Amino acid sequence: MNMQSLFLATLLLLFAPGFVSSEVLKCTANDWTQVAQTAQDGNAPILVLYTSDECPYCERLKEEVLHPMFRNDPNSHLAVVREVDINKGGKMTDFDGERIRSRYFKKRYKVFAAPTLLILDATGTPLAKPLVGYNSKEKYASMLESTLEKSRSLLKRPSSLSGGHKPETSPGQISHSSTASVP
């Protein structure tokens, strides 16, 4: 093997994890009923990451926190992870099987900036307050781990949060009852 080939092979090995991590979190959702079923089967919360192609903080969040946390598995036992482009339009299938415009889905959870991270149950009900923005790896990772742990414990308790229905909201609002028990 010549020196140039050895150098290229070394570079590939060094940078391969970065290529993999971006692709893992590109797992997008247009059918939330399928995502909900995966979450329900694993008794895991759904982590929805709103990003934008023009957002360097989104890339840092994925590379520094989410990729190491989910180890190339967007359906891990910690949470079912899906990424949504904040600027993308079109229709999607909501948690109840109804087709809705993506902007109504975004407005329901009051998403206005990227990155925004939502933690939902299998009915689409928020389990925690959204995490908006990204500053430091250590602080964000600690906050996310704590929030995920609280969310998983909420899923284990019988409660109205997992009652088999999506939040009763009009587009652009989250009902007060669905945020009343948010940790």
pLDDT in tens, 48-81: 999 999 999 999 999 999 988 887 666 667 889 9
User: For 117-131, how does the pLDDT look when each residue is reduced to its tens digit (9 = 90+)?
Assistant: 999 999 999 999 999
Whether the per-residue pLDDT at 157 is higher than 70: the answer is yes
| CA–CA separation, 144 and 138 (whole Å) | 10
Q: Which whole number is the average pLDDT over 29-37?
A: 90
Between 30 and 63, the higher pLDDT residue: 63
- Asked if residue 61 lies in contact with residue 140, where contact means CB atoms within 8 angstroms, the answer is yes
Q: What pLDDT score was predicted for residue 149? A: 92
DSSP string, 129-171: --EE----HHHHHHHHHHHHHHHHHHHHS--GGGSSS-----T
Q: Which residues face 59 on adjacent strands?
A: none
The yes-or-no verdict on residue 93 having pLDDT over 90 is yes
Structure tokens at 137: 């790896």
Q: What is the pTM of this model?
A: 0.72
pLDDT in the model for residue 70: 82
Q: What is the mean pLDDT of residues 145-160?
A: 84
Per-residue pLDDT at 153 exceeds 70? yes
Indicate the range of 5-14, 25-34, 128-137, 138-147 predicted with least confidence: 5-14
Q: Which CATH architecture has domain 20-179?
A: 3-Layer(aba) Sandwich (3.40)
pLDDT category of residue 160 using cuts at 50, 70 and 90: very low
Q: Give percent above pLDDT 90 in the chain.
A: 57
- Domain segments of the chain: what residues? 20-179
CA distance 22 to 130: 22
Consecutive H or E run containing 5: helix 3-24
